[in-house]
Amino acid sequence: MRRFLAHRTGTAGAVVLAVAALVALVAPLLIPAEALDVTRVTAPAWQPPGARQWLGTDHTGRSVALLMAQGAGTSLFVGLTAAVLAVGIGTLVGIVSGHFGGLLSGALLRVTDFFLVLPALVLAIALSTVLPRGLGTIVLAIGLTSWPSTARVVRAQTLTIEARPFVERARALGGGHGHVIGRHVLPSVVPLVLVNATLAVASAIVAESTLAFLGLGDPTRISWGAMLHQAQLHGAVPRAAWWFLLPPGLAIVVVVLAFTLVGRALEAVVTPKR
Amino acid sequence: MRLAGRLGGAALSLVMVAVLGFFLFRVVPGDPVVSMTRGRPTTAATQEALRAQFGLDRPVHEQFWSYFTGLLRGELGTSFTFRRPVADVILERLGPTLLLVGTSTLIAVGLGLWLGVRAAWRRNSALDRVTTGVSLTLWAVPTFWLGMLLMMVTGDLFPSRGMRDTDTPPDFLSQALDVGHHLVLPSVTLVAVVCAEYALVMRSSLLEELHAPYLTTARAKGLRDDVVRRRHAVPNAVLPAITLVFLRVGLVVSGAITTETVFSWPGLGLLFYDALTGPDYFLLQGLLVVTAGAVVVMNLLADLLHGVLDPRVKVV
């Protein structure tokens, strides 16, 4: 913990994330539903930032500031759950293919490498086009397409650990698969998995915004990517409506960067060599 | 023997791409014809005819066989929205994408590797900090948003839609200039996103080499610093970096989809967008198979190239 705090950029990232999480949790409680209802808002559309609407309004007259706060939840939720899914699959595949040798390991490695080279976005687009629109679909589409890098790292770590004498000793003393994996392999991959998970959240948030921008998001929910989709659809660029274009993008960049910085600081802590 | 293994592996990957493309669009819940015709007035008879036309009324194994043998003949089925063979539609859109992706990749590789080398050589210098910081930030920037921003900031300076204007004179020079003018914003967007990744890869690759004994030897011979860098360190460090550049080709593909969508660049990326808004499953399936297949082939090339460039890696 103290070593993590020694990384200034990592600490800054953690603070940013705490603020974002707070906004995401509090916003739905404080924002009245009619403020985000297209049919009930009273403010004029495309209003530049001013005293009353300090981030301006969108194409329907909703406040951009409120949309931003409301969108934080969706972006963070999708990022976190998709990352957990991806890292979970990756860890499972990595440990299984590293621990059990033979045909199974070879086949899993083949499949991992196959998915590693395929463009994840293309697969995610295909998945979210064929499945019904919704939050679950996006999480699935991102999670199912971004596990291979974790699997590679975890597999390598599993192989390294299992070559160490103390694992051999555990085996000689009669430790079964469950014992070796549970007591020796798993504890040694946890730090790596944490680092990977943090970085996976970062790329999952970018992926969510991209899918939402392409119109594959959950149409009933507000997210930063969905706001940019609306901005593109309703011509925020030709109108030079910078107040509708800048905030969602900046929010994505800041949060993703924060996750990346935290991930890199964690990486430096768990692999102290460099 | 290794070569045969690599070729076999790539062939197996291509078959897996084909299988994936088939099942992804068949095992999904719901009837593809129903979802493709959603929002359009269609009678039950029309839907039945469409099902027969696409072969969806036959058993799955028969569908797979005709799909797979079709692939081997270069047939990808019929597009629902374009009412034409998918292969023809894709071929038509290949040129613009190759132009955009090719130009951007060349610039991004050159710039990225140069920046990476400079940053690693003077580690923790101002340039290093800026390069690393900017690269990490660009990695966090959604491609499409960067494109929209560029479009808004430059205003009328560069055209932001399509590949050429309709009123350009038909002679080659005017056409080329017009296309080049349209190319500026999309390629700057793509370069910015991809270049960051390359710079980071090159930087860490050169950092690995920095403390190698042969560099101390080279310095001990009294060689100037930039000779040591150019003649000794970079040639060794650039090899893994170049391979990684090829391996990240998927990144370029993803970037191209959103960039082309933002700028209405008439290539495969925009076709992806058309296919998913349809939704046109057969077009999407064709695009998936073609892009994934291309990526597999690029990876094979990267492997072979690495073997040629670096004699320590025995591929052949």
A233 touching B (Cβ < 8 Å)? no
Q: Is residue A128 in some structural domain?
A: yes
The DSSP bridge partners found for residue A63 are A57
Residue A210 is nearest to which of B152, B258, B275, comparing CB atoms? B258
B184 touching A (Cβ < 8 Å)? no
Closest CA to B141 of A70, A267, A248, A65: A248
ipTM confidence score: 0.88
Closest CA to B80 of B56, B97, B44: B56
Please state the domain count of chain A.
1
**Distance of alpha carbon A134 from alpha carbon A155, whole angstroms:** 33
Q: What is the pLDDT of residue B166?
A: 76
Q: Is residue A137 in some structural domain?
A: yes
Q: Is residue A115 over pLDDT 80?
A: yes
Q: Is residue A52 in some structural domain?
A: no
> Which residue's structure tokens are 């160490």?
A164
Q: Which two tokens stand for residue A186?
A: 């798993």
CB contact under 8 A, A209 and B142: yes
How many CB pairs lie under 8 A apart between chains A and B?
Answer: 131
Considering only residues B35 and B98, tell me which one the structure prediction assigns the higher pLDDT. Answer: B98
**Distance of alpha carbon A131 from alpha carbon B281, whole angstroms:** 12
Q: What is the pLDDT of residue B316?
A: 42
B142 touching A (Cβ < 8 Å)? yes
Residue A260 is nearest to which of B16, B140, B292, comparing CB atoms? B140
A249 touching B (Cβ < 8 Å)? yes
| Per-residue CA distances from B204 to A261, B141, B234, B257 (Å) | 17, 21, 12, 28
**Confidence category of residue B108, pLDDT binned at 50, 70, 90:** very high
> Which residue's structure tokens are 């800026």?
B130
Domain region containing A96: 2-31+60-270
Q: Is residue B314 over pLDDT 70?
A: no
Q: Which residue of chain B comes nearest to A248, CA vs CA? A: B145
CB contact under 8 A, B291 and A249: no
A228 touching B (Cβ < 8 Å)? yes
Q: Is residue B31 over pLDDT 80?
A: no
Q: Is residue A274 over pLDDT 60?
A: no
Q: What is the mean pLDDT of residues A160-173?
A: 88
CB < 8 Å to A246, chain B: 149
CB < 8 Å to B16, chain A: 114
Q: Is residue A210 in some structural domain?
A: yes
Q: Is residue A37 in some structural domain?
A: no
A117 touching B (Cβ < 8 Å)? yes
A196 touching B (Cβ < 8 Å)? no
CB < 8 Å to B277, chain A: 215
Closest CA to A81 of A21, A122, A140: A140
Q: Is residue B156 over pLDDT 80?
A: no
CB contact under 8 A, A249 and B272: no
Residue pair B233/B209 in contact (Cβ under 8 Å)? The answer is yes
CB contact under 8 A, B143 and A126: no
A129 touching B (Cβ < 8 Å)? yes
Considering only residues A76 and B157, tell me which one the structure prediction assigns the higher pLDDT. Answer: A76
**Distance of alpha carbon A90 from alpha carbon A186, whole angstroms:** 13
A122 touching B (Cβ < 8 Å)? yes
CATH number of the domain encompassing residue A261? 1.10.3720.10
| Per-residue CA distances from B109 to B35, B120, B196, B248 (Å) | 42, 16, 10, 11
Give A243's contacts (C-beta < 8 A, 6+ positions apart).
Answer: A48, A49, A55, A56, A64
For domain B86-309, give the fold: MetI-like fold (1.10.3720)
Q: What is the mean pLDDT of residues A153-169?
A: 89
Give A15's contacts (C-beta < 8 A, 6+ positions apart).
Answer: none
Q: Enumerate the domain spans of chain B.
A: 86-309
Residue pair A267/A194 in contact (Cβ under 8 Å)? The answer is no
B158 touching A (Cβ < 8 Å)? no
Residue pair A230/A59 in contact (Cβ under 8 Å)? The answer is yes
Give A256's contacts (C-beta < 8 A, 6+ positions apart).
Answer: A202, A203, A205, A206, B139, B140
CB < 8 Å to A254, chain B: 140
What count of residues does chain B have?
316
Closest CA to A200 of A79, A90, A113: A79
Q: Which two tokens stand for residue B96?
A: 């613009």
Hey, how many other C-beta atoms are within 10 angstroms of the C-beta on B301? 13
A252 touching B (Cβ < 8 Å)? yes
Q: Is residue A18 in some structural domain?
A: yes
Q: Is residue A44 over pLDDT 90?
A: no
Sign of CA dihedral A60, A63, A65, A67: negative
A-facing residues of B in 41-80 (CB < 8 A) are: none
The pTM for the full model equals: 0.89
- Map chain B to HEC letters: CHHHHHHHHHHHHHHHHHHHHHHHCCCCCCCHHHHHCCCCCCCHHHHHHHHHHHCCCCCHHHHHHHHHHHHHCCCCCECCCCCCEHHHHHHHHHHHHHHHHHHHHHHHHHHHHHHHHHHHHCCCCHHHHHHHHHHHHHHHCCHHHHHHHHHHHHCCCCCCCCCCCCCCCCCHHHHHHHHHHHHHHHHHHHHHHHHHHHHHHHHHHHHHHCCCHHHHHHHHCCCCHHHHHHHHHHHHHHHHHHHHHHHCHHHHHHHHHHHHHHHCCCCHHHHHHHHHHCCCHHHHHHHHHHHHHHHHHHHHHHHHHHHHHCCCCCCC
Q: Is residue B46 over pLDDT 70?
A: yes
**Distance of alpha carbon B106 from alpha carbon A128, whole angstroms:** 32
B243 touching A (Cβ < 8 Å)? no
Looking at every residue in chain B, the average pLDDT score rounds to: 85
Q: What is the mean pLDDT of residues A134-144?
A: 92
Q: Which residue of chain A comes nearest to B297, CA vs CA? A: A117
B288 touching A (Cβ < 8 Å)? yes
B247 touching A (Cβ < 8 Å)? yes
Q: Is residue A187 over pLDDT 80?
A: yes
Mutate to test the interface with A, among B14, B145, B204, B291 (most CBs of A within 10 A): B145
CB contact under 8 A, A126 and B144: no
Q: Which residue of chain B comes nearest to A257, CA vs CA? A: B140
**Distance of alpha carbon B241 from alpha carbon B245, whole angstroms:** 6
Q: What is the pLDDT of residues B233-250, one digit of tens each?
A: 888 888 877 777 777 787
Residue pair A222/B158 in contact (Cβ under 8 Å)? The answer is no
